Amino acid sequence: MRYSAASVKELFRCFAAWCGFFRCPMCMKNGGNGRNEFCPECREKLVIFPVEGRCPGCGGPNDTVLAVCSSCLEFPLRPYVDAVALMEYSGAGRTLIRSMKFRKQPELARPLALLAVEKLNESGMVFDAVVPVPLHWRRRLVRSYNQSELVAGLIAAETGKPLIWGLKKIRETPHQAQLKRGERLKNLKGTFAVDDPSFAGKQILLVDDVLTTGATAAAATQVLMANGAKAVRLLCCARTPVKARSAPPAAGRGKKTT
């Protein structure tokens, strides 16, 4: 009897789960379903967003009867066509993301990617390739890895889609979190470029870690679209709470700003 690679992988996962291997990386106490998933107890600590009724601007819940949520109404139209956010960037979710980014815990990318694939499947989001939001080479040198790239690579492996590194960050910028209202978009002007346009003609899943105003994802999307991407959809690991999000000075919704 021949076994497919998928069936062998599932047999190994079941064996690992039964033996208690690959525990939940948040608590390191409970089982991780044989592949480092978040355990039910830790998932309860995260504010995980449902994909049904999501806002296509930020990926979180849409609290209006309009196309986007009340917070996204304050922002210019974004060039990506849809978004999925996994969780709120608060409490345990904030600690999780910061541990992955700043506390040398890249292993947390795996459970986030597994949760991302779960939510992408629920959403029915269609994409041909996965592109991570890049770090500038200096910041990557200091951190030694790009957390968005780790998550994106695991999503690509789980879904069988190609991972493309064609997007580059060519200008180092201050952390977006340090900037005020209208400074974020200005900060990102001329920041991204493309050195491998192999994504041309493809529907792209752009992967980022945290969405606040969406300025980073919007700037990256504009460059991808200008270099031939057919469409861009966004997956972010976390979205900041609505009360913490700051918009640029109000400009009529539906009017694109320059």
Considering only 6-20, 142-156, 224-238, which range has the smallest mean pLDDT? 6-20
Q: For residue 7, what pLDDT is reported?
A: 60
How does the average pLDDT of the chain come out, rounded? 85
HSE-CB for 217 with a 13 A CA cutoff: 34
**Predicted confidence (pLDDT) at residue 40 exceeds the cutoff of 80:** yes
Q: How far apart are CA 18 and CA 12, in angstroms?
A: 10
Which two structure tokens, joined as six digits, stand for 12? 């190994």
The pLDDT assigned to 12 comes to 41
**Domains in the chain and their CATH numbers?**
1-45 (no CATH), 47-244 (3.40.50.2020)
Residue of 79, 58, 57, 208 whose CA lies nearest to 132: 208
Residue 184 has pLDDT above 80, yes or no: no
User: SS3 of 209, please?
Assistant: strand
The pTM assigned to this predicted structure is: 0.84
Q: How confident is the model at residue 188 (pLDDT cuts 50, 70, 90)?
A: confident
**Positive/negative CA dihedral, 246, 248, 252, 254:** negative
What 3-state class would DSSP assign to 211?
A: strand
Question: How high is the pLDDT of residue 248?
Answer: 46
- Residue of higher predicted confidence among 2 and 123: 123
- Here the tokens at position 227 are 């270099």
Alpha helix stretches (DSSP H) within 103-177: 109-123, 137-143, 147-159
Single-letter amino acid, residue 68:
V
Check: CB of residue 52 under 8 Å from CB of residue 61.
no
Per-residue pLDDT, averaged over 221-245, amounts to 92
Give the total residue count for the chain: 258
Lowest mean pLDDT among 158-162, 184-188, 253-257: 253-257
What is the rounded CA–CA span in Å between residue 201 and residue 151?
Answer: 23
Those residues whose C-beta lies under 8 Å from the C-beta of residue 21, and which sit 6 or more positions away, are: 34
Q: By mean pLDDT, which of 50-54, 115-119, 252-256 is the weakest?
A: 252-256
Going along 165-211, which residue ranges are E strands? 167-169, 192-194, 203-211
**140-181 pLDDT, tens digit each:** 889 999 999 999 999 999 999 999 999 999 988 766 555 555
List the structure tokens of 91.
């409490």
Position 104 pLDDT exceeds 50? yes
DSSP character for 76?
A: P
